[in-house]
């Protein structure tokens, strides 16, 4: 999930994060699990807990 660079800082990313979570809550789901997150700074926007962290490694093959 991300926002095009020229639109960053306008709060659009927070809407993209919070609206689907609110929809799930309205449908009666007790929790939402967001997988494969690249950045964890967004946690302050939705009062969430980080349960697991996955690290991705790359290596150029010769």
3-state class of 57 per DSSP? Answer: coil
Confidence (pLDDT) at 61 = 93
Query: What's the pLDDT tens digit per position in 14-59?
Result: 888 889 889 999 999 998 887 766 666 666 667 777 777 777 789 9
> pTM of the entire structure?
0.59
pLDDT of residue 44: 66
Where do the domains of the chain lie? 1-62
Close Cβ partners of 48 (under 8 Å, ≥ 6 residues apart): 34
Look at the block and give the residue holding tokens 């010769």.
62
Scanning 1-62, the segments in alpha helix (DSSP H) are 12-26, 43-46
pLDDT of residue 38: 61
pLDDT for residue 9: 87
CB atoms within 10 A of CB 43: 14
């Amino acid at each position: 999930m991300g926002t095009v660079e020229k639109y960053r800082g306008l709060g659009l990313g927070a809407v993209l994060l919070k609206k689907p979570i609110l929809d799930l809550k309205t449908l009666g789901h007790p929790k939402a699990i967001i997988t494969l997150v690249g950045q964890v700074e967004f946690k302050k926007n939705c009062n969430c807990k980080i349960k697991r962290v996955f690290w991705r490694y790359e290596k150029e093959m010769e």
